[in-house]
Amino acid sequence: MEITSAKYLVSNTDVKVCPPGDKPEYAFIGRSNVGKSSLINMLTGNSKLAKTSGTPGKTQLINHFIVNNNFYIVDLPGYGYAKISQTQREKWEKMIAAYLKERVNLVTVFVLIDSRLEPQKIDLAFLRKLGDWGVPFNVVFTKADKSTQREAHKNAKSFIEAMKQEWEFIPRSFMTSAVKYLGKKEILGYINELNGEWVKEAPAMLEKTEEKENK
Which positions lie near ligand GDP, rule CB under 6 A? Answer: 30, 32-38, 52-53, 56, 78, 142-143, 145-146, 177-179
Provide the minimum distance between the beta carbon of 143 and ligand GDP in the complex, in angstroms, as a whole number: 4
Number of Cβ atoms within 10 Å of the Cβ of 211: 9
Provide the minimum distance between the beta carbon of 187 and ligand GDP in the complex, in angstroms, as a whole number: 13
User: Whole-angstrom Cα distance, residue 157 to residue 160?
Assistant: 5
| CB closer to ligand GDP, 33 vs 108 | 33
| CB closer to ligand GDP, 103 vs 143 | 143
Q: Is 114 in contact with 35 (CB distance < 8 Å)?
A: yes
User: Which amino acid, 205?
Assistant: M
Write out the DSSP string of 160-193: HHHHHTT-SS---EEE-BTTTTBTHHHHHHHHHH
| CB closer to ligand GDP, 23 vs 143 | 143
| CB closer to ligand GDP, 21 vs 35 | 35
Provide the minimum distance between the beta carbon of 60 and ligand GDP in the complex, in angstroms, as a whole number: 12
Provide the minimum distance between the beta carbon of 84 and ligand GDP in the complex, in angstroms, as a whole number: 14
| CB closer to ligand GDP, 45 vs 198 | 45
Provide the minimum distance between the beta carbon of 186 and ligand GDP in the complex, in angstroms, as a whole number: 14
Provide the minimum distance between the beta carbon of 90 and ligand GDP in the complex, in angstroms, as a whole number: 21
| CB closer to ligand GDP, 32 vs 173 | 32
